[in-house]
Structure 1
Amino acid sequence: MIIYSNETEDLNTPTGLMRCHIFRPVKEGKYAAIIFYSEIYQVTQPIRRLASYIAGQGYIVIVPEVYHEYENPGVALEYDKEGTDRGNYLKFEKPVSAYDSDTKSVIEWLKTYPYSNSKIGSMGVCLGGHLALRAALNPEISAAVCFYATNVHDATLGKGQRDDTLKRFKDIKGKVIFTWGKQDPHIPFAGRQLIREALEKAEVQYEWHEFNAQHAFLRDEGPRYDPALFQTCMGLVIRFLMDSF
């Protein structure tokens, strides 16, 4: 499916203007929307390609710049030490309340977007996997796709490093799919087990997939990219989204 990939919207949020990048089918109609949260580097070319792929399956994909309070609109950090250090610093500098208010702003905007059919999901990788999970705490989110979500098991997202994501799983009303790399040093086995036990206790509707892979195995730049696993995971995601909306 042919898509538009150069549309942006600067949304008002409680913490300032937030640029969002929009990918959507060219064909006229109304579509379910996916709020897609990036990794710590913001909207890089690999993130754009992944967003385009999902949009090409028949979805509106909106990618917010998660560090809009700290970086100028359009800034993407580099996949190098400087970019990694900056991204990790901001991940813990930004308050969780600001991440949450960003999500609410996108949800409210999507209710007015003329191409949206009012069905909303979330998706994310790395930091974005955690943000997609937190987005699911909102009742408007029907489906959440979480790839190797960081800082969920140790509750250290945001300023003060004391988030409440694990404690709020009972607020999740939609379905969630989790995908992990077994060799990911950021989310060890014990951490994954802690998350799964909390999901069971909260009676969340979820899917759980683990593969022999490193962190960031979806990113199509760098040595950790696994093209075959990317294809497998995209099949899981598209089937999950079709079943959820």
Structure 2
Amino acid sequence: MATVQQSTLDLPTLRGDMRVHRFAPTTAGPWPAIIFFSEIFQMTGPIQRMATALSGEGYLVVVPEVYHEFEKPGTVLAYDQAGSDRGNELKYTKEIASYDEDVAVLAEHLSQDPECTGAIGSFGVCLGGHLALRAGYHPQVQAVASFYPTDVHTATLGAGKSDDTLARLQELKVPLLFVFGRQDPHIPLAGRDLLRDRLNEMEADFEWHEFNAAHAFLRDEGPRYNPALARVAQALLLRFFTEALR
């Protein structure tokens, strides 16, 4: 639909400034907004390209650096063992209250952005899939798209490896979209069944898609990338947000 302009801003939190990457269509707004939560590696090339593609469809997209209280602004962790180790270390160091405060800060900022219609959705992959799901507890978030969310079924996100995401599912009153790879070792069948059964029990407004794919199959770098399925997943995402936010 449009070309995209990228910029950055720093939003204050109780734990220091949070660097946020902003993607906005160059056509006249306002647009619905999407908070896009990255993997443990922060603003990598694949995340930047995904955010740009989503914004080009007519959305104001903001991508926070989730480890802002630990790393310098602009830090990107590499897709290697050292980067994975650091990302996983911080995932279990950051407090759940800090993850939730980030959502509140972003939602408040977007609600005052003149280029936002006021409709806000959350989207995330991997760690970000879990954070996007938690964002649904915020009253200003109107739709959640969670792609292969880690640590939900084990309730081990954050400091102390003890989160309440699964226990609070009944609080979610917004439409939900879930996408998984069936060959994802981080979210095995038993974990997926646990989450889906809980959603069915509470009669949630959700849709569920599983593909024969590995973890992080949307990431357009590395051997796990499945470009054909990534296109299907992107189509599902765009249709979902069109229905929920427009």
TM-score above 0.5, yes or no: yes
What is the CA-CA distance between 1:199 and the residue it aligns to?
1.0
- 1:91 aligned residue: 91
What is the CA-CA distance between 1:5 and the residue it aligns to?
3.6
For the 8 Å contact 1:143–1:244, the answer to whether it is kept is yes
Aligned length: 245
What is the RMSD computed on CA atoms of the aligned residues?
A: 0.8
For the 8 Å contact 2:124–2:130, the answer to whether it is kept is yes
What is the CA-CA distance between 1:140 and the residue it aligns to?
1.3
Deviations 1:51-92 (A, max 9, x none): 001101100000000000000000110000000000000000
Deviations 1:125-183 (A, max 9, x none): 00000000000011211111111000000000000011000011121121110000000
- 2:196 aligned residue: 196
Q: Could you tell me how far apart the structure 2 residues matched to 1:179 and 1:77 are? A: 24
What is the CA-CA distance between 1:201 and the residue it aligns to?
2.1
Residue 111 (structure 2) pairs with residue 111 (structure 1): yes
Residue 141 (structure 2) pairs with residue 141 (structure 1): yes
Deviations 1:93-139 (A, max 9, x none): 00111000001000000011110010000000000000000000112
Give runs of aligned pairs for residues 150-165 of structure 1, distance below 5 A.
150-165=150-165
Q: Could you tell me how far apart the structure 2 residues matched to 1:80 and 1:5 are? A: 29
- 2:205 aligned residue: 205
Residue 78 (structure 2) pairs with residue 71 (structure 1): no
- 2:2 aligned residue: 2
- 1:59 aligned residue: 59
Residue 230 (structure 2) pairs with residue 227 (structure 1): no
- 1:100 aligned residue: 100
The gaps in structure 2 that reach 5 residues or longer are none
- 2:47 aligned residue: 47
Q: Which amino acid aligns with 1:2?
A: A
Q: Could you tell me how far apart the structure 1 residues matched to 2:122 and 2:202 are? A: 20
Q: Could you tell me how far apart the structure 1 residues matched to 2:130 and 2:177 are? A: 12
Q: Could you tell me how far apart the structure 2 residues matched to 1:6 and 1:179 are? A: 27
The gaps in structure 1 that reach 5 residues or longer are none
Identity of aligned residues (%): 52
Q: Which amino acid aligns with 1:9?
A: L
Q: Could you tell me how far apart the structure 2 residues matched to 1:145 and 1:227 are? A: 19
Please give the TM-score of this superposition, normalised by the length of structure 2: 0.98
Q: Could you tell me how far apart the structure 2 residues matched to 1:100 and 1:120 are? A: 16
- 2:34 aligned residue: 34
Please give the TM-score of this superposition, normalised by the length of structure 1: 0.98
Q: Could you tell me how far apart the structure 1 residues matched to 2:195 and 2:3 are? A: 36
Runs of 4+ in 1 over 4 A off after TM superposition: none
For the 8 Å contact 1:138–1:171, the answer to whether it is kept is no
Q: Could you tell me how far apart the structure 1 residues matched to 2:3 and 2:87 are? A: 29
Q: Could you tell me how far apart the structure 2 residues matched to 1:15 and 1:145 are? A: 27
Q: Could you tell me how far apart the structure 2 residues matched to 1:129 and 1:50 are? A: 14
